[in-house]
Amino acid sequence: MDYAQQQRNPGRHLTGLMVVVVLHVVLGWALLNGLARKIVEVVKAPIETKIIDEVKPPPPPPPENLPPPPKTAPPPPSFVPPPEVQISNPAPAPTITTTQVAPPPQAPVTIAPPPQAVAPPAPARQAVPAKIDVSTCDKPEYPAAAARAEATGITKIRFTVDAQGKVSSAQVQKSSGSSREHRLLDRAAVDALSQCRFKPGVDEQGKPVGGTTLVDYVWQLD
């Protein structure tokens, strides 16, 4: 219902106005009868305060079967007299008996003879090389073909001898020439001189040793 409809209903408007008038009448009657004064006096009355003790709970019961409190030992006396010491007569000192012991017999002293003079070592010997001298050997024969070709020259041979002076190796180091006849000369010199015996060498201990040397054999026609 809107405002226009409320204006069209004057009954309800009159009811509200009557309620307001009644409230004013009741309030005026209360003022006249002193009701308001009583209310003020009640408010102005002194306010009493009381201290209320706090209610404490009862203490818990003591526990059962507790061990008895430990017994405290009585304090020691302030002065303890020292114990009595009984001194007896000292025992006599033991008698010391000395016995002379003969010293052990000394071992006989043996004087060693003075050391003999040691002869100085013999001086080391000087090594001597083997002596290979072909002049003591028989001359090799001149090959006929080389003689006809009048081939001459020098054959250089390396000889190796053993400790007995025997030739163990002979090698041509340089040929007497380049022709076939010169090779015949080289072969004849090796074969003939290898049959010769030479003098072996000697080492520092004096033992015979072999050696190696080069020999030049000259081929020439008479």
Q: pLDDT tens-digit profile of 178-213?
A: 999 999 999 999 999 888 888 888 888 888 888 888
Amino acid code (one letter) for 6: Q
Q: How far is it, in rounded angstroms, from Cα 205 to Cα 200? A: 14
Cβ contact 206:128 at 8 Å: no
What pLDDT sits at residue 153?
Answer: 94
What pLDDT sits at residue 23?
Answer: 84
Cβ contact 196:158 at 8 Å: no
Q: What is the CATH number of domain 134-219?
A: 3.30.2420.10
- Rounded mean pLDDT, 167-188: 92
What pLDDT sits at residue 11?
Answer: 64
What pLDDT sits at residue 122?
Answer: 62
> What b-and-e string marks burial along 114-144, b requiring 16 or more CB atoms within 10 Å of the CB?
eeeeeeeeeeeeeebebebebeebeebebbe
Q: How far is it, in rounded angstroms, from Cα 199 to Cα 210? A: 9
- Express each pLDDT in 30-78 by its tens digit: 777 765 555 555 545 555 656 666 666 777 776 666 666 666 766 666 6
- Model confidence at 25, pLDDT cuts 50, 70, 90, reads confident
- Model confidence at 142, pLDDT cuts 50, 70, 90, reads very high
Cα distances from 109 to residues 104, 105, 106, 114, 156, in angstroms, run: 15, 12, 9, 15, 77
Torsion angle of alpha carbons 82, 83, 86, 90, nearest 10°?
-70
Q: Where are the domains of the chain?
A: 3-36, 134-219
- Rounded mean pLDDT, 114-126: 68
